[in-house]
Amino acid sequence: MSKGITKRAENYSQWYNDIVIKADLAENSGVRGCMVIKPYGFAIWEKMKAQLDIMFKETGHENAYFPLFIPKSYFAKEASHVDGFAKECAVVTHYRLKTTENGDIIVDESSKLEEELIVRPTSETIIWSTYKKWIQSYRDLPILINQWANVVRWEMRTRLFLRTTEFLWQEGHTAHETSPEAIAETNQMLDVYADFAEQWMAMPVIKGSKTESERFAGALDTLSIEAMMQDGKALQSGTSHFLGQNFAKAFDVKFTSKEGKEEFVWASSWGVSTRLMGALVMAHSDDKGLVLPPKLAPIQVVIVPIYKSEEQLKTISKKVDEITQKLKDKGISFKFDDRTTYRPGHKFAEYELKGVPVRLAVGMRDIENGTIELARRDTLEKNIYDIKGIENVIEDLMDEIQQSIFRKALKFREENTHKADTYEEFKDIIKNKSGFVYAHWDGTPETEQKIQQETKATVRNIPFDSPEEEGVCMVTGKSSKKRVLFAKSY
RNA sequence: CGGGGCGUAGCGCAGCCCGGUUAGCGCAUCUGCUUUGGGAGCAGAGGGUCGCAGGUUCGAAUCCUGCCGCCCCGACCA
């Protein structure tokens, strides 16, 4: 069983790789650090994308598209931004190839670009240079734009979905009259991400602010949602940045206010990426394969016929048609796998690997008894139901499974969340138990760095819902008003 | 960027140290028969510029040199 999947307990990262490959989500390509997202994986991404897009539009945003290439000079305008990305940019220097006498293809040196083009690692600079042209008056504000795009960051080490050289994402870029408005937008979008993670991915997250050292390059404040993976590590699953007037100043984007004064625009940006696919895999899957929340499963119900002759298959198919019609009416997606080329056991294993939430099996025995076998992917429970009304059972189950895997993930997080009051205690937990640790910290980058170097754990964020509490930093003994969230991370 | 590993059939690998007939194994594929309530069995078949380029040799997957690519581990990052 579970052919070829490494056990979670044996080697977690190998397990992750096996699931991604064997469940047919993605594979490595011939291009360093870049993956091919396969149809099944892309179908899940499309479902995520569709829902996020609805949520963005409900909060007043519109989609647009900006260029893949950014002139190098744009980067020079915001100093901390270029610092943050300079080391991981792909640069286009030429625009033509030529064939040599012996048939080799080489870069035509005569086609050297006057100014190099950077393949976008993120689009703040190209977007703000455009916004400059769009904004003159307070009447032009706010601008609430999102773009679905691919970006390139030349990372040292890559892993399928979690960190690839090229990845797909959405990036929202908004412009506002006032600071409070931009901050409200930043918070609103973090809430959208958290809702999506919890309601759709069934993955509980912790909302909070990043520390100064983990802030986005060019932001005044970076908010994040952090989720716990099954190995106890944290995965940053979405970020929302308050950019202040940094980009407005860098690109000279001013507007005339109601009072007739010229002011710089306030900004936010926010994004989630195909990394969410990695989060989805690591949050719920098991040693048998993927476990998908019904709301994101490309196929919610699979029906496997069990037959000994073509005639039997015909009889079963007829019965199945009645069921699928009712599922269709309820808007539940399904697949009737009547392939004659594979046997039932093979199909069972295959759909478990692919994480299909509900499996139905129908054989002649069932036809005679008016029953059907239903198996849940999340719990692996199997039960016999009356065929009559099975669509209602399934409809309820979609909800139940969605909630059940969320509860399971939440319970796991709670069981692996600790409090530490001394540094010794902290080190012990990080080393021997892993998971999340709430502890007091003096708020300085120096202490943060020391902790990271000594334990490999970092401040994931300063949680919004962490209660005010007088305490002292576990390392320096300086006073602290709130516990922050520490963990090892991806 | 530092350390390690690997490039041989669609995939996973053995062979290489110690050069020598026709380069082998498992899975997958194809054909036939029997099967079908948890990844079917048997019989047969097809499929290879041994990463690339040089060199040594009567002879190179194997030895030497150079190059290219990918993966894994660390520091950086969503």
CATH number, domain containing residue A216: 3.30.930.10
The reply to whether the CB atom of residue A24 sits less than 7 A from any atom in nucleic acid chain B is no
The answer to whether the C-beta of A162 is closer than 7 A to strand B is yes
Identify the pLDDT of residue A473: 95
**CA-CA-CA-CA torsion sign (A110, A116, A122, A124):** negative
The alpha carbons of chain A give a radius of gyration, in whole angstroms, of: 26
| A459 part of a folded domain | yes
- Would you say residue A328 lies in a domain? yes
pTM for the model stands at: 0.95
A332 and A275 assigned to the same domain:
no
Rounded CA–C1' distance between A331 and B33, in angstroms: 44
Nucleotide nearest to A362 (CA to C1'): B37
Q: Is A425 inside any structural domain? A: yes
A214 & A343 share domain? no
pLDDT band at A82 (very low <50, low <70, confident <90, very high): confident
In a domain, A91, yes or no: no
In chain A, the number of structural domains is 3
The gap between A382 CA and B72 C1' (Å) is 39
Rounded CA separation A380/A375 (Å) = 6
State the ipTM, two decimals.
0.85
Residues A44 and A166 in one domain: yes
Strand B near-CB residues (< 7 Å), A 206-225: 214, 216, 224
Distance of CA A49 to the CA centre of its chain: 10
Domain that holds residue A322: 299-395
CA A86 to C1' B29 (Å) is 48
pLDDT-based confidence at A3, cuts 50/70/90? low
Answer yes or no: do A315 and A462 share one domain. Answer: no
Q: What angle do CA A486, A442, A464 make, to 5 degrees?
A: 55
| Domain shared by A252 and A195, yes or no | yes
Do A258 and A222 share a structural domain?
A: yes
**Strand B and A153 CB separated by under 7 Å:** yes
What letter represents residue A159's amino acid? R
Query: Which nucleotide is the nearest neighbour of A13, by CA and C1'?
Result: B72
Q: Residue A292: its pLDDT value, please? A: 97
Q: Are residues A303 and A276 in the same domain?
A: no
Segment A137-159 mean pLDDT: 92
| A268 pLDDT more than 50 | yes
Interatomic CA–C1' length for residue A353 and nucleotide B13, angstroms: 24
Other residues' Cβ atoms within 10 Å of the Cβ of residue A159: 17
Asked if residue A481 is part of any domain, the answer here is yes
Q: What is the mean pLDDT of chain A?
A: 93
In a domain, A311, yes or no: yes
Q: Please give the span between the terminal C-alpha atoms of chain A, in angstroms, as a whole number.
A: 30
**How long is the CA A120 to C1' B27 vector, in angstroms?**
42
